Structure 1
Amino acid sequence: MALSSRLSGRVAARAHHSPAAAFLQKIEPFFAIGQISGGPLLLASIVALVVVNSPIGADYVRLWDRPVEIRYGAWSIARPAAEWINDALMPLFFLIIGTEVKREFVKGSLSSLRTAAFPVAGAIGGLIVPVALYLAFNHGTDTQHGWGVVAAMDTAFSLAIVAMFTTRLPPAVRAVLLAFAAIDDVFGLLVIAIAYTATIHPWFLAIAGVAYLGIVGLLRLRWVAPIPYVLLGIVVWIGVFGSGVHATIAGVAVGLLLPTSSRLSERRFAERVQRPVDAFQQAHRAAEQADDDAEAEERREEAQQRLGYIHEMAAATDEAAERLVRVLTPWVSYIVLPLFALSNVRIHFSPALIAEALHAPLSLGVVAGLVIGKPLGFLGATWLATRSGRAALPEGVTWGMVLGIGGVAGIGFTISLFIAELAFERPEQTEQASLAILAASLISGLFGYIMFWRAAARDGDAH
């Protein structure tokens, strides 16, 4: 979810060939094809803000609020286009989040107790302190229910900022931020499931549970074909969607099941394919040297069979989780997240809205929670955890870098907007919360960038 080491090296090499490439190196993390990137989301958000505040703004909003109906015989369901994006497409984003969470627990920065304790402590502090600050401004008011807006961070934007310093900061910085972001996003999803679900239909949850157990059963049987998993995953989504619990929970739940280890190790792969490779070479030579077309065609078919076997063995060395993330990431980065921004960013800038937001407890609570609460909660909780001996500061990471991680955690854009739509019934409150989220995200992003820039400069001076 940030610029990979190999891709970072490729971008750095381009800078030697073109002056423009040096500039592109700075913005590449925001548009990396192989990672969840914040650039398309940022551009879509800017487009939405411009259009909403243009003369066609009202028509633009009505476009996303127009019902889209799905009909099968006598059965039909109609929902606004924006809600279909939130309910049917955003679970793909959270499927990647769930997969990343599992990978961190199984083989990443959360794979041991002490290394897990650091980001886990930070995530707890990064939840409690922002919510407490929000409630300090809004307790006893009709906006008190919106405390979930400050509960989670924006993974795409925060990791894109860290990726700008890929070669200048220790790898542990990205690992800690990824672990913190994953746990933080899960907290946000639990908030959606618990605090913002009005009615639950147990029969639909039972359907989702049966399909979920079906996926578990296929995994235990080491079933390889992907179609049954896809179909059962769709049934899980239908069950969660129909139950009243927000459908994004289905994405995380399925992501947590994906295997993070390959079916075939590289050593066993080498052992199994050596004879088929030799047989392929023999069949290929025989096809080229055949005296008649019939014999040549027979040898070519034999060679293709060997290639099919080798291809399947090579596929078995790939992690299912990594493969799914690789396939979904470009679609999520360049279609799902931009569509979410285009349909959900509806802030009408006006002197009245800005003047009201400067004094309203709702906007003040959101800004305080994200800008102050996130870095303060993350830094304070991790410091207490290390002082008590329950966690250790990762190798190469300084407290300035930790503060930078807490800073970018205040970028609450995607999930915060998501929760704001669920938390507030009055449009003016949703708009006010969205404006505060935008302002807080800009401030937090700038603060985090400055902290990482200073930390990278000091680290460079030390070497």
Structure 2
Amino acid sequence: MKATQLYKDFFNSKKSGGLVLITFTLISLFFANSSFGDFYIHSWETKIGGLSFEHWINDGLMTVFFLLIGLELEREIYKGELSHVKDALPPIFSAFGGMVFPAAIYLLFNLGTITQAGSGIPTATDIAFALGILSLLGNRVPTSLKVFLTALAVIDDLGAIIIIAVFYTKTLLWSNLLIALGIFVLLLVLNRLKVNNLIPYLVGGIVMWYFMLHSGVHATITGVLLAFAIPFGDGSKKSTSYLLQHFLHKPVAFIIMPIFALANTAIVINSDFSTVISQNYSLGIALGLIIGKPVGIFATLFIAVKLKLCSLPNEINWKSILGVGFLAGIGFTMSIFITLLAFEDKATIANSKFIILISSLIAGVIGYFILKYSLKEANEEL
């Protein structure tokens, strides 16, 4: 598997961004549980232009995050791991199992209850954290494993986008939605006319975001639509898509994601941990991320390989797949994001965020040690 320069830039920004995310999460938790915790938590509710800081971050800044996700997904489809069926099938099968199993586990505990809407929470993978943990293993990690995890996480993000669009859209205002989609079609026409100047797309994207925000569909979907409207061309370093994707890597990794972490991990840690973990939604999230993710990824790919629907990528063994499965159990950003859409009760949201943090930590640590052992074993065999 060939690693392009853009992929290397992407991997480096994501692994560094994961470490920055950890730092800012710890800072936010510290402030939230300090003597001025109330001030810190309520400061995110300060309103500007009718929306709170937190709202601007989750609906505004995160649209830029989704724009980058869309650009990465587009590149994977046209020139990356998803452009060849043979290479795409292993991460596709793995991602499918990694979404279905956690959702099933969650519903096992919550079906028919007021918290069943949270079934999408444990299906997500935080690519920045996952690659950040993988990077701690250094040069022992084969490129094929890095690419597999990246492709898996990108497909996972696509799944999360579909889940958000289909299951977390409550009330549709058709007039605004049709205007937003009309702007999207107009941008596609500009693409077909080979208009490569980025300004019309960005202006159109902002207007599309405004109408999408007031349509009932989550505004961040605008980022993905805009990504596929921006000209990809031949995918070279001079293409509009490449230039924008390259530009967005560091702002997203080192500005947008840390701000998201600060705003959404301002959690007061409940001293009665036993009560929090015993909640049905807590069990669904924890078991979904820690067990559902790795089992779903491993089992689905194992069955696909045994049925000869695909084969394991080069330099990757089953122990490494299991390790990657646990790393995929690091939900964090997308899991927290879906939590905000799934629940309205503040206590449920806060507890869910806390469980996501704890579960992601456990999954990440297990994944790290499995990979450390399996990669050491593989290197000794060489």
TM range (shorter): over 0.9
Aligned residue for 1:444? 363
Aligned residue for 2:265? 345
Question: For the residues of structure 2 that align with 1:65 and 1:244, how far apart are their CA atoms?
Answer: 21
SS of equivalent residue, structure 1 residue 197: coil
What fraction of aligned residue pairs are identical, expressed as a percent?
35
Aligned residue for 1:45? 25
For 1:362-441, list aligned pairs within 5 A.
362-441=281-360
Question: For the residues of structure 2 that align with 1:457 and 1:136, how far apart are their CA atoms?
Answer: 37
- Misfit runs of 4+, over 6 Å: 3-9
Cα distance, 1:427–1:408 mapped onto 2, change above 3 Å: same
SS of equivalent residue, structure 2 residue 214: helix
**Count, aligned residues:** 379
Aligned residue for 1:194? 166
Cα distance, 1:452–1:260 mapped onto 2, change above 3 Å: farther
Aligned residue for 1:183? 155
CA shift, 1:4, in A, is: 8.3
Aligned residue for 1:127? 99
AA matched with 1:381 = T
SS of equivalent residue, structure 2 residue 51: strand
Question: For the residues of structure 2 that align with 1:232 and 1:139, how far apart are their CA atoms?
Answer: 41
Question: For the residues of structure 2 that align with 1:376 and 1:124, how far apart are their CA atoms?
Answer: 12
- Single out whichever of 48-57 and 183-192 deviates more from structure 2: 183-192
8 Å contact from structure 1 (residues 36, 332) kept in 2 = no
The higher radius of gyration belongs to 1
Question: For the residues of structure 1 that align with 2:83 and 2:257, how far apart are their CA atoms?
Answer: 29
Tell me the C-alpha RMSD between the 2 structures: 2.2
CA shift, 1:8, in A, is: 8.5
Is the aligned partner of 1:136 residue 2:93? no
8 Å contact from structure 1 (residues 151, 188) kept in 2 = yes
Aligned residue for 1:87? 59
CA shift, 1:459, in A, is: 2.3
Question: For the residues of structure 1 that align with 2:114 and 2:277, how far apart are their CA atoms?
Answer: 18
Is the aligned partner of 1:335 residue 2:255? yes
Which digits, 9 at most, give the CA deviation of each residue in 1:349-374, with x for residues without a partner? 1322x121232211111110000000
AA matched with 1:57 = G
Q: TM-score, normalised by structure 2?
A: 0.93
Question: For the residues of structure 1 that align with 2:24 and 2:149, how far apart are their CA atoms?
Answer: 25
AA matched with 1:141 = T
For 1:270-285, list aligned pairs within 5 A.
none
Query: Structure 2: where are the runs of 5+ without partners?
Result: none
CA shift, 1:163, in A, is: 2.7
CA shift, 1:166, in A, is: 5.1
8 Å contact from structure 1 (residues 148, 191) kept in 2 = yes
Aligned residue for 1:304? none
Aligned residue for 1:460? 379
1:326 to 227, 246, 254: 246
Question: For the residues of structure 2 that align with 1:319 and 1:449, how far apart are their CA atoms?
Answer: 37
Aligned residue for 2:181? 209
Query: Structure 1: where are the runs of 5+ without partners?
Result: 10-28, 70-77, 266-316
Question: For the residues of structure 1 that align with 2:194 and 2:15, how far apart are their CA atoms?
Answer: 28
8 Å contact from structure 2 (residues 196, 231) kept in 1 = no
- Single out whichever of 144-153 and 78-87 deviates more from structure 2: 144-153
Cα distance, 1:203–1:376 mapped onto 2, change above 3 Å: same
Q: TM-score, normalised by structure 1?
A: 0.78
SS of equivalent residue, structure 2 residue 17: coil
Question: For the residues of structure 2 that align with 1:404 and 1:256, how far apart are their CA atoms?
Answer: 32
AA matched with 1:394 = P
- Single out whichever of 157-166 and 92-101 deviates more from structure 2: 157-166
- Single out whichever of 94-103 and 366-375 deviates more from structure 2: 94-103
Cα distance, 1:35–1:221 mapped onto 2, change above 3 Å: farther
Is the aligned partner of 1:60 residue 2:31? no
SS of equivalent residue, structure 1 residue 54: coil
Cα distance, 1:358–1:180 mapped onto 2, change above 3 Å: same
SS of equivalent residue, structure 1 residue 194: helix
AA matched with 2:261 = A
